[in-house]
Amino acid sequence: MAGKLTEPRVITDHRREPVCILPAGFYFDDDRWERIWQRFEEKGEALSHDDLRALFPDEPVLRVNKL
């Protein structure tokens, strides 16, 4: 199920512990799903916005808007 999220989505593990929060507009597909889980397993804790930005540097909804 690939496509842009229409609302934020919390990804949780089998214990219902948070893995990450994906913002609305984030493009989500199987490859990105695997990359998120791999990074979560390496880190051993929930991924931050900075972690997601490092994984997906070209994702527009993760960019910091400068004022």
What is the pTM assigned to this prediction? 0.86
Q: What is the mean pLDDT of residues 61-66?
A: 80
- Positions of E strands within 23-66: 27-28
Q: What would the pLDDT profile of 5-23 be if each residue is shown by its tens digit?
A: 999 999 999 999 999 999 9
- Every domain of the chain and the residues it spans: 3-62
8 Å CB contact between 4 and 25 = yes
